[in-house]
Amino acid sequence: MTIIRTRTAAITPLLGRHIRPQPTSCLYRASTRCISQKTYTLNNGVKLPAIGFGTFQDKEQQESAVYNALNAGFRHIDTAKVYDTEEFIGRAIRKAGVPRTDLFLTTKLWCNDFHPDDVEPALDEALAKLGTEHIDLFLTHYPCTFKRGTERFPKGEDGIMQMGETTYVDTWKAMEKLVHKGKAKAIGVSNFSQGEVQTLLDQGSITPAVHQMELHPYLQQKSFVEWQKSKGIHMMQFSPLANQNNFYRDIYWATGKANAGRLIDEPILKEIGEKYGKSPAQVALAWGLANGRSVIPKSVVDWQITQNLESDFPLDAEDLEKIGTLDKQLRFNDPSSAYNWKLYSDLEGAWST
């Protein structure tokens, strides 16, 4: 193993007391693979790589993209049943030959599998596709429970989503059992409101380790961020580049908010990027890391994959303050009308409020 360079972790001024940043690991080369990962320790002691690889969309390209990401040095791969990428990821992992002990895998339970009797079979299916005996992080994809069955989006004749007879609390309690069985090392949530998270804290026996949520300079949610940190819940940013993805412009429930200027075109990010010799996208990712959060950017383009992994660099306090001025409370992911559920009801930027 040849050491290339050593870095000191960026100061994370907003870290919660239960989540400890680990020093940025040595950037080293094992065989032909360059590996660099800063990690966070979750509230149950599990270590999470700070920069993950998202696999939403482009499912036919994910086998090669994940293979390239693993060879670039990514060690956290994020997926979900509804992405239809789990099987491609499993193939890529086997092809890359990265030991399972070096990987952190996240997947998400989809809403039609929320009945307590369906939770474990759904995870078993995911594990089989990924080719692993356990998942490192198992998340509920949304708080809304759809009608039980094989249809992922079970709509009635009126076109309205049909809801299930159980609640996300019932689902959570079934997920807690999977931790005790060793099938999931950690469990968490995605797309929950503060009130919904509080309900789990009140009625569940395991505090969510992670909340994967939309977070970027256009949607900073500072009070919610602070509240979750006080509860020991780590925040993982999806869509960390905001409206860069055309999905938020093209999806049928889009409202047009994503049609505004793109985050990566913000002059402030360009100016800061020039200061550090980084791209605006890298600055946006570094902002999340500097605030003690993990990020899961997605790309199937080789140079972007490499660039995303090189986004762990310290930002001066004055630069963090400048990025703080970009908050527009713009939430791009809000399918409340389509899912028949008032999502993010007590959070900033909700279209449903």
Residue 124's nearest CA partner among 146, 109, 111 is 109
Q: At what angle do helices 302-309 and 280-290 cross, to 10 degrees?
A: 30
Please, which residues bridge with residue 213 across strands?
237
Phi, psi (rounded to 5 degrees) for 227: -65, -45
Tokens of 69: 């990401």
Annotated binding-site residue? 211: no
What is each CA distance from 98 to 14, 33, 49, in whole angstroms? 33, 10, 15
Tokens of 162: 């049909």
According to DSSP, residue 100 is labeled G
Alpha helices in 149-213 (DSSP H): 168-181, 194-203
Cα 59–chain centre separation: 17
Question: Are 294 and 52 spatial neighbours (Cβ–Cβ below 8 Å)?
Answer: yes
**Residues 137 and 185 sit within 8 Å (Cβ to Cβ):** yes
Phi-psi region of 221 (alpha: psi -120 to 50; beta: other; left: phi over 0): left
State the catalytic residues: 83
Do the beta carbons of residue 198 and residue 173 sit within 8 Å?
no
Q: What is the C-alpha end-to-end distance of the chain, expressed in Å?
A: 54
Strand order in the sheet with 2-5: 2-5, 27-30, 33-35
Strand, coil or helix: what is 146? strand
Q: CB–CB of 216/241 below 8 Å?
A: yes
Other C-beta atoms closer than 10 Å to the C-beta of 293 total: 24
Cα–Cα dist 223/225, whole Å? 5
268 burial via Cβ count (<10 Å: 0-12, 13-18, 19+): middle
Q: Which residues are annotated as a binding site?
A: 141
Q: Which residues are annotated as a binding site for substrate?
A: 141
